Structure 1
Amino acid sequence: MRLSSRRRPCSPPKSAFTGFRFPSEVIVVAVSWYLRYNLSYRDVEELLIERGVEVDHVTVFRWVQRFTPLLADAARFARHSPGDRWFVDETYVKVNGVWRYAYRTVDQHGPVIDVLVSARQDAVAARQFFLRALRVLKVRPTEVVTDAAPVYPAVLDELVPSAWHHVVRHANNPIEADHSQLKHRLRPMRGLGTDQTAQLIIAGHAFIQNLRRGHYEPGFDASPELRVATAFSELARVL
């Protein structure tokens, strides 16, 4: 018996939106609203209902959990190169009633480079944070500005020995000012349930900030008011 040499036609890759009842346009709008504005999941639910889209706030939560990392990952290779001067600091966030540390860094141009939510404030957490940032961006800073926390010198000497470690009073104002924007966004959430959710939401907030500031190619040519909407529409088409 001869086997047929005819090849089966290749089926196109499935979209990340396959299997969802609502169209991608509705999903990405809901996700962008939640990440961008000071809204709860119920607020987003009400705004959608006002526009004729009946969706439960639990579904909005699931959309945010599912598509925030996918959208950020789709934009990863269209991110503008970060600067070489990094401002690093950690702030407190409450997760399920327990305080956690959110390590964050920005460069001299303003974009958030990376974030890490950790239960600890020690050399292990600091090392993990820098390893993430260096691995994702594949760029090494020439200067790192931190507070006077004793864990940083040894970690920086190990991972970026060529960088100048700068510790000066008020030198870290850029990242501290950026912390306030994050806290303003987290306030209406009334707490985060898990460390994983906190990591996702804080990273998503940073992603939105960077899009709005024009640090990604998607949406870059749009007016500042339309950058996020334009970028999310472009990114949704490649998921």
Structure 2
Amino acid sequence: MRQFPLGFREVEELMLERGVLVSHGTVRRWCARFGQICASGLRRRWPRPGDNWHPDEVFVEIDGELKYLWRAVDADDAVLDLLVQNRRDKAAARRFLRRLLRTTLTVPRVIVTDKPRSCRAAHREVMSSVERRSYKGLNNRAENSHRPTRQRERAMKGFRSAGETQRFLAAFNGTSPHFRPRRHLMTAPGHHAETTIRFVIRNQITASGRPAKA
């Protein structure tokens, strides 16, 4: 089975196999509309986030300009939130941490960050009561979470705008983990059964998100 969300070219090829001709722009609009519906529905089914958070930032090139993608995951590798920003200074770190608190509606027990001073300063202002840990290698979990984004970035040959990148990654990070169970921990029949269940859940969510027929 193919994973969701697909690239535009992959969707066009699937439709062409079924004798349906669609334009690149039509596929783009489908992904923008239904991708977020699927991501929002899956997020509502997620369990409560863990109390150990790993925020991190990585640079991305958007239309020839250097931007920073801030992302946070918990101890189970679930993506809590992400935000595309122009900088990686104290103000950017503070904005992202405040956004995390609003999105998750919870406060972590421990926050694991890198060593930049901007992270320390933002932590003191926004989460002063939360334990902060920082030393080499401790935040590898957050750094590894950037890999799917890098893979999709290469497949799409880069991002075109900050707003488009934010919208796409919000949908992509909300759906991609759902279709990527930890296969190395499963038998082949178990993986097939789990994948089938997850596609059924996806179909239920997308069906409930469609507008009613007149």
- TM-score range for the pair, normalised by the shorter chain length: 0.7 to 0.9
Gap runs ≥5 in structure 2:
182-191, 210-214
Q: TM-score normalized by structure 2?
A: 0.84
Runs of 4+ more than 4 Å apart = none
Stretch of structure 1 that moved more, 185-194 or 71-80: 71-80
CA contact (8 A) 1:71 1:236 kept: yes
Q: Which residue of 1 aligns with 2:23?
A: 56
The alignment of Structure 1 onto Structure 2 pairs a total of residues equal to 200
In the alignment, is residue 231 of structure 1 matched against residue 201 of structure 2?
A: yes
Q: What per-residue deviation string (whole Å, max 9, x for no partner) do you get for residues 181-208 of structure 1?
A: 2201211101111111111122222112
Aligned equivalents of 1:235 and 1:137: distance in 2?
A: 21
Q: Which among 115, 127, 133 is matched to residue 166 of structure 1?
A: 133
User: Which of 104, 107, 114 is 1:137 aligned to?
Assistant: 104
Ranges in structure 1 where 5+ consecutive residues have no aligned partner: 1-29, 215-221
Residue 4 (structure 2) aligns with: 32
Query: Hey, what's the Cα distance between the residues in 2 that align with 1:98 and 1:211?
Result: 31
Offset from partner CA, 1:141-161 (integer Å, 9 cap, x none) = 111111111111221122222
Matched residues in 1 for 2:95 and 2:48: separation? 22
For the 8 Å contact 2:5–2:35, the answer to whether it is kept is: no
So what's the TM-score if we normalise by structure 1?
Answer: 0.76
**What fraction of aligned residue pairs are identical, expressed as a percent?**
31
**1:95–1:194 contact (8 Å) kept in structure 2:** yes
Bigger proportion of residues as helix = 2
Bigger CA drift: 204-213 or 84-93? Answer: 204-213
Calculate the aligned-residue CA RMSD, in Å: 2.3
What corresponds to 2:184 in structure 1?
Answer: none
Report how far residue 51 of structure 1 moved: 2.1
Answer with 60-69 or 143-152: which moved more: 60-69
Pick which of 200-209 and 224-233 moved more.
Answer: 224-233
CA contact (8 A) 1:212 1:224 kept: no
